[in-house]
């Protein structure tokens, strides 16, 4: 199951990140991806696939749909919302990979190596939290916010 989730979320995000940077993608032993950038490649690990964000955004969207629509109409609305949540997750994850790469390149000259994991985590939090806030504003704007 983990390999399926990795393939479903990491490959499209890595491909989109590679398109942003006009770079190639290589697969290593075990199927993990590398985005071949100069001066440093990006290693896309299973933790980088963005599945947790998908679950969070999916539950968040589901909550708003269930509050807005009566139960018989909620099913089709959920089925329409799931692809939007998936595409949003892939785009947000690709932006996170891109931002994390560039911030890491800059922060290596400013901070010691022990700060790098914290900086990487902070970039992920900033990008995913921004995506959640923008998603909320969009849902509110198009009228899916509770009655």
Top pLDDT among 69 and 53 is at 53
What angle, 0 to 180 degrees and rounded to 10, lies between the N-to-C axes of helices 51-68 and 71-110?
150
Q: What is the pLDDT of residues 61-77, one digit of tens each?
A: 998 888 887 888 888 88
pLDDT on residue 146: 47
Nearest to 62 by CA among 1, 10, 141, 139: 139
Q: Looking at 67-71, 84-88, 114-118, 133-137, which range is the least confident one?
A: 67-71
pLDDT at 79 over 60: yes
Tell me how far apart the alpha carbons of residues 102 and 123 are, in angstroms, rounded to a whole number. 10
């Amino acid at each position: 199951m983990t390999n399926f989730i990795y393939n479903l979320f990491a490959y499209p995000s890595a491909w989109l990140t590679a398109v942003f940077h006009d770079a190639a993608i290589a697969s290593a032993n075990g199927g993990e991806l590398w985005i071949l950038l100069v001066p440093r490649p990006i290693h896309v690990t299973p933790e980088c696939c963005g599945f947790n964000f998908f679950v969070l955004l999916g539950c968040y969207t589901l909550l708003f749909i269930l509050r807005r629509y009566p139960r018989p109409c909620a099913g089709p609305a959920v089925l329409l919302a799931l692809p939007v949540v998936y595409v949003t997750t892939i785009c947000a994850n690709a932006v996170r990979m891109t931002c994390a790469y560039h911030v890491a390149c800059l922060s290596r000259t400013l901070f010691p190596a022990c700060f790098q994991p914290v900086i990487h985590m902070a970039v992920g939090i900033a990008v995913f939290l921004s995506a959640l806030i923008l998603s909320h504003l969009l849902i509110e704007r198009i009228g899916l916010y509770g009655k």
